[in-house]
């Protein structure tokens, strides 16, 4: 029973920290600060618990790899 409670507290902490970072990152887009990295960290935490966040993180990874390949073509 104690182990289950610890797991629930961990999940709640991850969710709260993820949404807090996401909100702070959105605020930092309009104010001075590293908005994009903070948003990505928040999404990374939320991806551990939510499928929608995992899909966004996977799409960001896929699109950034595509952009990298487009800008830096592989050497032959």
Whether residue 12 is contained in a domain is answered as: yes
pLDDT digits (tens, 9 = 90+) for 13-47: 999 999 999 999 999 999 998 999 999 999 999 99
Q: Is there a contact between 45 and 18 (Cβ–Cβ < 8 Å)? A: yes
pLDDT digits (tens, 9 = 90+) for 63-73: 999 999 889 87
For 42, other C-beta atoms within 10 Å of its C-beta total: 21
Please tell me the predicted confidence (pLDDT) of residue 73.
Answer: 79
Whether residue 46 is contained in a domain is answered as: yes
Distance CA 48, CA 30 (A): 27
Structural domain span for residue 51: 2-71
pTM listed for this prediction: 0.79
**Total domains present in the chain:** 1
- DSSP per position, 39-56: HHHHHHHHHTT-HHHHHH
Whether residue 76 is contained in a domain is answered as: no
Q: Is there a contact between 49 and 16 (Cβ–Cβ < 8 Å)? A: no
């Amino acid at each position: 029973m104690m182990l289950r409670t610890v797991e629930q507290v961990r999940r709640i902490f991850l969710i709260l920290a993820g949404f807090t970072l996401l909100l702070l990152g959105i605020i930092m887009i309009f104010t001075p600060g590293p908005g994009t990295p903070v948003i990505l960290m928040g999404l990374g935490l939320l991806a551990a618990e939510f499928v929608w966040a995992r899909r966004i993180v996977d799409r960001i990874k896929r699109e950034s790899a595509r952009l990298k390949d487009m800008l830096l073509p592989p050497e032959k």
